Amino acid sequence: MTFEDYVAARGPALVRLARLLTGDRHRAEDLVQEVLGRAYVRWRSISRKDRPDVYVRRMLVNADASWWRRRSSRETPVASEVMAVVVDRSAASRADADPGAAAAERDAVWRLVAALPERQRAVLALRYYEDLDDATIAEILGCSPATVRTHAMRALAALRTRHPVNR
Protein backbone atom coordinates (compact mmCIF):
# COMPACT_ATOMS: atom_id res chain seq x y z
CA MET A 1 0.00 0.00 0.00
CA THR A 2 1.36 3.39 -0.93
CA PHE A 3 1.44 6.26 1.52
CA GLU A 4 -1.15 8.14 -0.53
CA ASP A 5 -3.52 5.14 -0.44
CA TYR A 6 -3.05 4.82 3.30
CA VAL A 7 -3.81 8.50 3.92
CA ALA A 8 -6.86 8.38 1.66
CA ALA A 9 -8.19 5.32 3.48
CA ARG A 10 -7.23 6.11 7.10
CA GLY A 11 -6.73 9.89 7.21
CA PRO A 12 -10.25 10.83 8.36
CA ALA A 13 -10.21 8.13 11.05
CA LEU A 14 -6.85 9.40 12.31
CA VAL A 15 -8.24 12.93 12.56
CA ARG A 16 -11.26 11.63 14.51
CA LEU A 17 -8.98 9.74 16.90
CA ALA A 18 -6.82 12.84 17.33
CA ARG A 19 -9.93 14.89 18.13
CA LEU A 20 -10.82 12.40 20.83
CA LEU A 21 -7.31 12.58 22.24
CA THR A 22 -6.93 16.36 22.09
CA GLY A 23 -10.48 17.67 22.42
CA ASP A 24 -9.74 20.34 19.84
CA ARG A 25 -10.45 20.09 16.12
CA HIS A 26 -7.65 22.38 14.98
CA ARG A 27 -4.98 20.86 17.19
CA ALA A 28 -6.12 17.40 16.08
CA GLU A 29 -5.64 18.33 12.42
CA ASP A 30 -2.20 19.76 13.19
CA LEU A 31 -1.27 16.66 15.16
CA VAL A 32 -2.29 14.31 12.35
CA GLN A 33 -0.45 16.44 9.80
CA GLU A 34 2.69 16.33 11.95
CA VAL A 35 2.44 12.55 12.44
CA LEU A 36 1.76 11.85 8.77
CA GLY A 37 4.71 14.06 7.84
CA ARG A 38 6.97 11.95 10.02
CA ALA A 39 5.38 8.73 8.75
CA TYR A 40 5.89 9.76 5.11
CA VAL A 41 9.65 9.94 5.59
CA ARG A 42 9.69 6.43 7.08
CA TRP A 43 6.82 4.92 5.08
CA ARG A 44 8.93 2.18 3.48
CA SER A 45 9.81 0.67 6.84
CA ILE A 46 6.37 1.37 8.36
CA SER A 47 4.51 -0.28 5.46
CA ARG A 48 6.64 -3.42 5.82
CA LYS A 49 5.37 -3.94 9.36
CA ASP A 50 2.55 -6.40 9.93
CA ARG A 51 0.11 -3.69 10.99
CA PRO A 52 1.15 -0.21 9.86
CA ASP A 53 -2.09 1.28 11.19
CA VAL A 54 -1.18 0.28 14.74
CA TYR A 55 2.22 1.89 14.29
CA VAL A 56 0.74 5.17 13.00
CA ARG A 57 -1.85 5.25 15.80
CA ARG A 58 0.97 4.80 18.29
CA MET A 59 2.82 7.69 16.67
CA LEU A 60 -0.36 9.77 17.06
CA VAL A 61 -0.80 8.93 20.75
CA ASN A 62 2.88 9.60 21.43
CA ALA A 63 2.78 12.89 19.54
CA ASP A 64 -0.20 13.98 21.62
CA ALA A 65 1.68 13.11 24.82
CA SER A 66 4.76 14.99 23.59
CA TRP A 67 2.67 18.05 22.80
CA TRP A 68 1.50 18.24 26.40
CA ARG A 69 5.08 18.00 27.65
CA ARG A 70 6.22 21.08 25.75
CA ARG A 71 6.09 24.16 27.95
CA SER A 72 5.10 26.48 25.14
CA SER A 73 1.98 24.50 24.26
CA ARG A 74 -0.22 25.02 27.27
CA GLU A 75 -3.51 25.65 25.46
CA THR A 76 -6.98 24.77 26.62
CA PRO A 77 -9.52 23.64 24.01
CA VAL A 78 -12.61 25.77 23.59
CA ALA A 79 -15.64 23.98 25.02
CA SER A 80 -17.75 24.52 21.91
CA GLU A 81 -15.14 22.72 19.79
CA VAL A 82 -15.11 19.64 21.98
CA MET A 83 -17.05 16.68 20.67
CA ALA A 84 -18.79 14.03 22.73
CA VAL A 85 -17.17 10.64 23.08
CA VAL A 86 -19.23 8.84 25.63
CA VAL A 87 -22.97 9.06 25.24
CA ASP A 88 -25.65 7.94 27.65
CA ARG A 89 -27.33 5.79 25.04
CA SER A 90 -30.27 4.92 27.24
CA ALA A 91 -31.29 8.58 27.51
CA ALA A 92 -30.62 9.25 23.82
CA SER A 93 -32.65 6.25 22.70
CA ARG A 94 -35.78 7.05 24.70
CA ALA A 95 -38.52 8.48 22.51
CA ASP A 96 -39.46 11.07 25.12
CA ALA A 97 -35.87 12.29 25.58
CA ASP A 98 -35.37 16.02 25.20
CA PRO A 99 -32.73 16.70 22.48
CA GLY A 100 -31.42 19.66 24.45
CA ALA A 101 -31.07 17.56 27.59
CA ALA A 102 -29.30 14.82 25.61
CA ALA A 103 -26.84 17.38 24.19
CA ALA A 104 -26.22 18.80 27.67
CA GLU A 105 -25.65 15.27 28.95
CA ARG A 106 -23.10 14.51 26.20
CA ASP A 107 -21.31 17.78 26.91
CA ALA A 108 -21.15 17.05 30.63
CA VAL A 109 -19.82 13.55 30.02
CA TRP A 110 -17.24 14.82 27.53
CA ARG A 111 -15.98 17.37 30.05
CA LEU A 112 -15.48 14.51 32.50
CA VAL A 113 -13.67 12.43 29.87
CA ALA A 114 -11.46 15.40 28.95
CA ALA A 115 -10.52 15.79 32.63
CA LEU A 116 -9.22 12.21 32.85
CA PRO A 117 -5.48 11.59 32.80
CA GLU A 118 -4.00 11.32 29.32
CA ARG A 119 -3.52 7.52 29.28
CA GLN A 120 -7.01 6.81 30.59
CA ARG A 121 -8.53 9.10 27.96
CA ALA A 122 -6.46 7.40 25.25
CA VAL A 123 -7.58 3.94 26.40
CA LEU A 124 -11.24 4.96 26.33
CA ALA A 125 -10.90 6.50 22.87
CA LEU A 126 -9.10 3.47 21.45
CA ARG A 127 -11.39 0.93 23.12
CA TYR A 128 -14.83 2.48 22.71
CA TYR A 129 -14.38 4.67 19.65
CA GLU A 130 -11.81 2.78 17.60
CA ASP A 131 -13.19 -0.57 18.90
CA LEU A 132 -9.74 -2.05 19.44
CA ASP A 133 -8.96 -5.01 21.68
CA ASP A 134 -6.74 -4.73 24.76
CA ALA A 135 -3.73 -6.32 23.05
CA THR A 136 -3.81 -3.81 20.18
CA ILE A 137 -4.30 -0.88 22.56
CA ALA A 138 -1.37 -2.16 24.63
CA GLU A 139 0.76 -2.29 21.51
CA ILE A 140 -0.21 1.27 20.58
CA LEU A 141 0.42 2.64 24.07
CA GLY A 142 3.54 0.57 24.71
CA CYS A 143 2.25 -1.17 27.82
CA SER A 144 0.77 -4.51 28.84
CA PRO A 145 -2.86 -5.54 28.25
CA ALA A 146 -3.30 -5.64 32.04
CA THR A 147 -2.27 -1.99 32.21
CA VAL A 148 -4.83 -1.16 29.51
CA ARG A 149 -7.55 -2.90 31.52
CA THR A 150 -6.45 -1.04 34.66
CA HIS A 151 -6.56 2.33 32.89
CA ALA A 152 -10.02 1.52 31.50
CA MET A 153 -11.30 0.35 34.88
CA ARG A 154 -10.00 3.47 36.64
CA ALA A 155 -11.34 5.80 33.94
CA LEU A 156 -14.81 4.24 34.03
CA ALA A 157 -14.81 4.27 37.84
CA ALA A 158 -13.90 7.96 37.81
CA LEU A 159 -16.65 8.70 35.30
CA ARG A 160 -19.21 6.75 37.36
CA THR A 161 -18.17 8.56 40.53
CA ARG A 162 -18.32 12.01 39.00
CA HIS A 163 -21.36 11.42 36.82
CA PRO A 164 -23.76 8.77 38.09
CA VAL A 165 -26.00 7.38 35.35
CA ASN A 166 -29.71 8.06 35.75
CA ARG A 167 -31.52 4.77 35.98
CATH code of the domain occupying 93-167: 1.10.10.10
Over residues 84-111, the mean pLDDT reads 62
pLDDT of residue 24: 83
Is the pTM value of this prediction over 0.75? no
What does the domain layout of the chain look like in residue ranges?
A: 1-74, 93-167
Q: Which of 33-42, 114-123, 138-147 has the lowest mean pLDDT?
A: 114-123
Instruction: Read off φ and ψ for residue 126, nearest 5 degrees.
Output: -70, -35
CATH code of the domain occupying 1-74: 1.10.1740
Cα-to-chain-centroid distance, residue 133 = 14
Over residues 88-110, the mean pLDDT reads 65
Give pLDDT tens digits for 1-33. Answer: 899 999 999 999 999 999 988 888 899 999 999
